[in-house]
Structure 1
């Protein structure tokens, strides 16, 4: 016993030494990297190399520009010819429609005949050209060393035809709406619009405001702000009158709680006020955290515009897998998780003079952990200013946590909002949203609509339904601009929600709960609230995490209603009953820290050297069972030793901004010689829900295209196959369109992959490729996800190995009809049933290979063929005797 304990102790010491050495190498590498960047700029040789490159680029440019001019001229003439022909044809049609033959003079008749001849000649010439393209012989090109053959695609063939057709239909319906139709069958008599379905609402109460209903015009709308200069825009915000008092309060107190309604200007203006007040001198930065990456990106872009600087220079943002900052950055917006990662390299946040924890009321897991970390830092860094910004009345709770820190309140400017409830519950709230939007659009005065939905899938479904019904109504209703906003949407698409609404039109924004507080959209008069949101919930009893749709809290419902009263008196239509609001909704949302898996958070805290998690200063402590389960999971993954200390493997895992299981999978891939394949799978999993799309008019084609990617082994290998095929086409956009794959999601997966490869090199991992060994790839996945194992039981259902919970393979899985004996899944999603997403077939013996400490042979025995033993029963009398 003594020898074994001595050996285990020496092993722990050895691992601890290797972990510390690894951490030192990371720090040294970071320092060297920083020094190299600085010296390379002043290095004479580097300057000469740059000058040579510039000269070569100029020479190449001189050669290419004449060719580009010729090509540009050719394309311009081609386009101009098409436009002129279309213009001539339209001119003839209009002329014939407006004037009869008898009304024309002889000269006008000749002009008309001349135009018709020209049009006929032009069309015949185009037909002859098309015929010549088909009939003539084309000299084959040498494409061995050139990609030109593949890149020169006719512009008309770049997009699927159905998109072109949709665009033409929209343009035609818009023209008919504005100018009327020429054909009798298209002309419609004007009647009052009667919608097929309507929802009965009851006005139950009015949310009071501090602005008069009759003073709507005093509020500055987004359209007016566009015409104003930046200074006038900033002066119009509610926070502006308090600028001097706020700066004085920040100078006086180290920690300050700032309470102000959404839209008061806290997020965009406070960092600028601090910069103007001199808090960025001595090359110190002002940091501002956001709970969502969409908010971090959009707010940074807005502040950069207000300061008249390029995004990424003085103002930048940093989110997971994307860093848009530079050495010149003085105002930095970031997600809470990004700041966690910065703590690993700079535990004292020495580069910051002010840290703002924004949207603190949302109480995300990362935000709650930040509270404890920054509170600790302020005790030994008196020069660091800490601002906690909140949009609700939780300010007193934050003040109590931060040693009775003072509260600075910014009064909002809000108009009254009428609250409407449905008479009865709605069975399908997505369809009810569509009906309500059209009902408001047809019956209510102008003003934009904000609709709250739970996620991307619901938003896209609602958008499709709405577009379809608007198209069918045609010119009966005025223009309706439909704009979605969710986290996976590209930033240029997200920015459209802030653009002014066209005249005599209405904008409807379909958003997730990000629009509750993180984003402020002007000119919203109507809000539609179905009363649901998506939440991650962790069951500590079964050890399972699932994303489920749940009712919102009363606090969230009031936040949503408040969005309608920013620019004028508004209306909020709640798609649930008043009784449900009073009796079924909780008062406040349960903080994330009390309902989700803490594995990632515990790993980060351990990497920061915080080992006593029981006594860590949490605003609301997590459940004891959840904390213990997270420690057990990290121990099983090899991230912690039996003393609860971080191992070298755990330290390497902490460097990846991933779930611990995915980080373990990535590191284990080095052992199985398939790290290049696993990093592609990890990147695809990060954007998994947004890869394939199914247009409503081509569902069968989309499903067939998806099935063409299916390979033996399961969904992880399908994702790898998709990425490989896309990479083989040189990351083609056209290939994505043809295969019903979202190009932007693939592009993001490529960016994630590149960043993960950089992190792998940082933690001293080799990039090895072995695509033919699919067994090794599946073993590497099993090394990380051995917690997520299910076994086929009688009746065709699956049961999880450890907790015997019934689960099903998701219908979109490549294994949905296969039903393998043993499967591994990436995540559980609860809709109508508990579904396993991203499922891969495994062998039970692999579990004993990758996790012998977690699985015992008897747990993996085949129990389906076992029968009850044959013995002679005993009577009650025999048993009693």
Structure 2
């Protein structure tokens, strides 16, 4: 089913209803030049591809018309016709995310897509993919043609796509090359209440874009709690409300639970023993609790009465996994199977099963809150918001009564819960966002009217980091180096390491490292009782130089297993299971690496030949890593693996997946990829470095700004040993010149020079 966009524009269909057009109407409204269309008066044609509707279309149409959102279709279309901005607010599972974009596509068809096609953003890539598949089915068109999706490192669209779903960060990146987004006639921002950094940035930048493009339409889809805030932000624009009046019984506890995790599991088994039918959704506090609950349910279900049916635990990780739960009745299975969905905050939008009868909400979440003073995330346990609690109630099935168990007293919602979820822009590292805004400033769109301004301290820290990374010039604008860094959909530190690898002839290996640390963790958590086997398997990939090099070994082994596989999908899956590796994560790393390679070719950067295994290559890789991650250095202060961060007084240990864990050879100085403050402070993805390398590659004025410590004294001795020149004079000179990466009497400037 394909039809060119020009043919869409030739069709004179103006309709805002579900009425269809016969073939004779189609021929009357076109120039008669279409070929290959058989004339059949009694067949209704799909105006989006010019072909007759299938029988499945009518079946799905009946289901669509039963959705709660369908009642407001006429009101929405009228508002869209007469206003530039429309806000749609409503409860979960009312059909907003699937139907509103289709109605916008109808509007686009009515104006012949003269102002552009339709795009709908999502906070999660899983949701974008699933919605695109569902909507293509409902519109009776082919996925990847009329309807498609664009998510990080995956593009399922072509030039004929008229409705695309994408993640908010992908639309944000598209603005770098098309600031006015001139290819779109209607932009739909969905899940605005998730308050991601990219969504907040888009809300601000689109204000100026709408002024520059009066013909552009903006549709905002959000929850009820966020609608009034958005109306004020956009000066009282039309609001379409969709309400779910389905009855849900809410049960609160008498007091705060001492252990919310065990309380949730006890309640799960009580529900199962009650013999009440229906699937269960449990909202836990963090990913570790999801993993722990998954293992406990798997162990305990063998001890349950088989007459009660089988418990099927389904872990749903919003940040890492690619699982989206779809309706599945298991009709072919005679034995009753009860799915138990284990998820956490931000998982509300990913639960698509209509068979959920029970929801268990612990009322707590573990959030990452970035601290700009120490450049690290702190994992903070806190209560969820009132809007989150309300959304979890709406997860329950639309067509059957449900029950919500809140493991906290009712007064807790009024005394402890905030009305709205804290915006991510208030809690995140903003270095990538500031780099993007600096890039947009080149096109005259650098100013962003944030709905909630980020903390000045976070913005200053982001600017300082970009300055350290040589991304800014002396006037505070993007340098040529910074412009190229912004081309990569990566953390700026990782982008810097890739660019510098061109200088050190280790691009091939650096691309692999970048892909592996960007993808989810490739090591699977072993089931209880298999920890020793998993450790033995991991040791086969270990590299003495550190974890970054171990990741290269894992990726190379995976690629070899894929090449040697006779039945590729099955054998690679089995190979990954045998070695306790996450196959989906490795596939993602493969896709990321391929896209990074394409970017390197597009910006005409050299890609060196593979040289992994050579001593010189190991040294060059460490130099490339340090050029980007010199702000993430730690030193073992007592010889027993207690690492003190160079930038602050926090202490951490090696992560259990590290190549150095449980070995006698613990590096004194190490560069790490990630550090979070929690009960167990771990540094992840760690490789050994030397003080000499650090002082050679880190900016001198960054070193000067480090707080006093024993580690800094050791580094100062190294600098003094390398140069007889007065340290004070050299520091002053470097502070004034801001000569990135240059140290006293260093024979060559270790920077990537882009021709």
* TM-score bucket of the superposed structures, by smaller chain: 0.7 to 0.9
Aligned ranges for residues 264-283 of structure 1 at < 5 Å? 264-277=94-107, 278=109, 281-282=112-113
- What is the CA-CA distance between 1:760 and the residue it aligns to? 1.3
* CA displacement, residues 732-757 of structure 1 (integer Å, 9 cap, x when unaligned): 51432321212222111111111111
Partner of 1:124: none
The whole-number CA distance in structure 1 between the counterparts of 2:254 and 2:299 is 25
The whole-number CA distance in structure 1 between the counterparts of 2:355 and 2:524 is 34
Q: Which moved more, 1:410-419 or 1:702-711?
A: 410-419
**Secondary structure of the structure 1 residue equivalent to 2:339:** strand
The whole-number CA distance in structure 2 between the counterparts of 1:393 and 1:736 is 44
Partner of 1:585: 417
**Secondary structure of the structure 1 residue equivalent to 2:368:** strand
Partner of 1:803: 648
Partner of 1:557: 389
Q: Which moved more, 1:746-755 or 1:605-614?
A: 605-614
Larger Rg: 1
Aligned ranges for residues 590-601 of structure 1 at < 5 Å? 590-601=422-433
Change (3 A) 1:471 1:327: same
The whole-number CA distance in structure 2 between the counterparts of 1:380 and 1:477 is 62
* Aligned: 1:438 with 2:283: no
Partner of 1:101: none
* CA displacement, residues 8-45 of structure 1 (integer Å, 9 cap, x when unaligned): xxxxxxxxxxxxxxxxxxxxxxxxxxxxxxxxxxxxxx
Correspondence for 1:843 among 672, 676, 690: 690
- What is the CA-CA distance between 1:582 and the residue it aligns to? 4.2
Change (3 A) 1:500 1:522: farther
User: Do the aligned residues in 1 keep the contact of 2:633 with 2:645 (CA within 8 Å)?
Assistant: yes
User: Do the aligned residues in 2 keep the contact of 1:420 with 1:571 (CA within 8 Å)?
Assistant: no
Aligned ranges for residues 74-93 of structure 1 at < 5 Å? none
The whole-number CA distance in structure 1 between the counterparts of 2:58 and 2:304 is 37
Correspondence for 1:828 among 671, 675, 680: 675
The whole-number CA distance in structure 2 between the counterparts of 1:280 and 1:720 is 52
User: Do the aligned residues in 1 keep the contact of 2:354 with 2:396 (CA within 8 Å)?
Assistant: no
**Secondary structure of the structure 2 residue equivalent to 1:328:** coil
**Secondary structure of the structure 1 residue equivalent to 2:394:** helix
Q: Could you tell me the TM-score, scaled by structure 1's length?
A: 0.69
- What is the CA-CA distance between 1:707 and the residue it aligns to? 2.3
Correspondence for 1:750 among 579, 582, 590: 590
Partner of 1:722: 554
Correspondence for 2:637 among 773, 790, 793: 793
Aligned ranges for residues 514-553 of structure 1 at < 5 Å? 514-517=346-349, 519-553=351-385
The whole-number CA distance in structure 1 between the counterparts of 2:337 and 2:190 is 34
Q: Which moved more, 1:787-796 or 1:653-662?
A: 787-796
Correspondence for 2:135 among 303, 316, 321: 303
Q: Which runs of 5+ in 1 are unaligned?
A: 1-225, 866-881
Q: Which moved more, 1:279-288 or 1:780-789?
A: 279-288
User: Do the aligned residues in 1 keep the contact of 2:279 with 2:356 (CA within 8 Å)?
Assistant: yes
- What is the CA-CA distance between 1:587 and the residue it aligns to? 3.2
The whole-number CA distance in structure 1 between the counterparts of 2:479 and 2:468 is 12
Partner of 1:767: 607
Aligned ranges for residues 706-717 of structure 1 at < 5 Å? 706-717=538-549
User: Do the aligned residues in 2 keep the contact of 1:538 with 1:595 (CA within 8 Å)?
Assistant: yes
Partner of 1:188: none
- What is the CA-CA distance between 1:763 and the residue it aligns to? 1.8
- What is the CA-CA distance between 1:422 and the residue it aligns to? 5.9
Partner of 1:415: 247
The whole-number CA distance in structure 1 between the counterparts of 2:113 and 2:421 is 41
Q: Could you tell me the TM-score, scaled by structure 2's length?
A: 0.80
User: Do the aligned residues in 1 keep the contact of 2:75 with 2:240 (CA within 8 Å)?
Assistant: no
Partner of 2:703: 855
User: Do the aligned residues in 2 keep the contact of 1:594 with 1:623 (CA within 8 Å)?
Assistant: yes
The whole-number CA distance in structure 2 between the counterparts of 1:794 and 1:489 is 35
**Secondary structure of the structure 2 residue equivalent to 1:848:** helix
User: Do the aligned residues in 1 keep the contact of 2:57 with 2:140 (CA within 8 Å)?
Assistant: no
User: Do the aligned residues in 2 keep the contact of 1:280 with 1:330 (CA within 8 Å)?
Assistant: no
**Secondary structure of the structure 1 residue equivalent to 2:304:** helix
* CA displacement, residues 791-850 of structure 1 (integer Å, 9 cap, x when unaligned): 222474222112232222223222234332111111113331322111111112222222
The whole-number CA distance in structure 2 between the counterparts of 1:795 and 1:582 is 50
Change (3 A) 1:606 1:521: same
Partner of 1:645: 477
**Secondary structure of the structure 2 residue equivalent to 1:671:** coil
User: Do the aligned residues in 2 keep the contact of 1:524 with 1:566 (CA within 8 Å)?
Assistant: no
Q: Which moved more, 1:412-421 or 1:580-589?
A: 580-589
- What is the CA-CA distance between 1:430 and the residue it aligns to? 3.8
Aligned ranges for residues 485-500 of structure 1 at < 5 Å? 485-487=316-318, 494-496=324-326, 499=329
The whole-number CA distance in structure 1 between the counterparts of 2:208 and 2:492 is 25
The whole-number CA distance in structure 1 between the counterparts of 2:449 and 2:110 is 28
Aligned ranges for residues 205-216 of structure 1 at < 5 Å? none
* CA displacement, residues 704-763 of structure 1 (integer Å, 9 cap, x when unaligned): 111222211211111111112222334551432321212222111111111111111112
Q: Which runs of 5+ in 2 are unaligned?
A: 1-55, 566-571, 718-755
Partner of 1:812: 657
Correspondence for 2:209 among 365, 373, 377: 377
**Secondary structure of the structure 2 residue equivalent to 1:393:** helix
Q: Which moved more, 1:374-383 or 1:841-850?
A: 841-850
The whole-number CA distance in structure 1 between the counterparts of 2:553 and 2:382 is 35
Aligned ranges for residues 112-123 of structure 1 at < 5 Å? none
- What is the CA-CA distance between 1:359 and the residue it aligns to? 0.9
* CA displacement, residues 418-447 of structure 1 (integer Å, 9 cap, x when unaligned): 2222645242x4443332222111115212
User: Do the aligned residues in 2 keep the contact of 1:318 with 1:325 (CA within 8 Å)?
Assistant: yes
Aligned ranges for residues 278-677 of structure 1 at < 5 Å? 278=109, 281-282=112-113, 284-421=116-253, 423-427=255-259, 429-443=260-274, 445-454=276-285, 456-487=287-318, 494-496=324-326, 499=329, 504-517=336-349, 519-564=351-396, 566-578=398-410, 580-609=412-441, 616-677=448-509
The whole-number CA distance in structure 2 between the counterparts of 1:435 and 1:310 is 46
User: Do the aligned residues in 1 keep the contact of 2:57 with 2:138 (CA within 8 Å)?
Assistant: no
User: Do the aligned residues in 2 keep the contact of 1:598 with 1:630 (CA within 8 Å)?
Assistant: yes
* CA displacement, residues 242-265 of structure 1 (integer Å, 9 cap, x when unaligned): 211110111111011111111111
Higher RCO (Cα < 8 Å, 6 or more apart): 1
How many matched pairs?
A: 640
The whole-number CA distance in structure 1 between the counterparts of 2:493 and 2:185 is 35
User: Do the aligned residues in 1 keep the contact of 2:429 with 2:462 (CA within 8 Å)?
Assistant: yes
**Secondary structure of the structure 2 residue equivalent to 1:404:** coil
User: Do the aligned residues in 2 keep the contact of 1:262 with 1:518 (CA within 8 Å)?
Assistant: no
* CA displacement, residues 54-81 of structure 1 (integer Å, 9 cap, x when unaligned): xxxxxxxxxxxxxxxxxxxxxxxxxxxx
Change (3 A) 1:324 1:804: same
- What is the CA-CA distance between 1:413 and the residue it aligns to? 3.1
The whole-number CA distance in structure 1 between the counterparts of 2:351 and 2:161 is 23
Partner of 1:685: 517
Change (3 A) 1:362 1:280: farther
The whole-number CA distance in structure 2 between the counterparts of 1:386 and 1:648 is 34
The whole-number CA distance in structure 2 between the counterparts of 1:371 and 1:228 is 36
The whole-number CA distance in structure 1 between the counterparts of 2:97 and 2:295 is 34
Change (3 A) 1:789 1:613: farther
Change (3 A) 1:764 1:273: same
The whole-number CA distance in structure 1 between the counterparts of 2:213 and 2:518 is 37
**Secondary structure of the structure 1 residue equivalent to 2:462:** helix
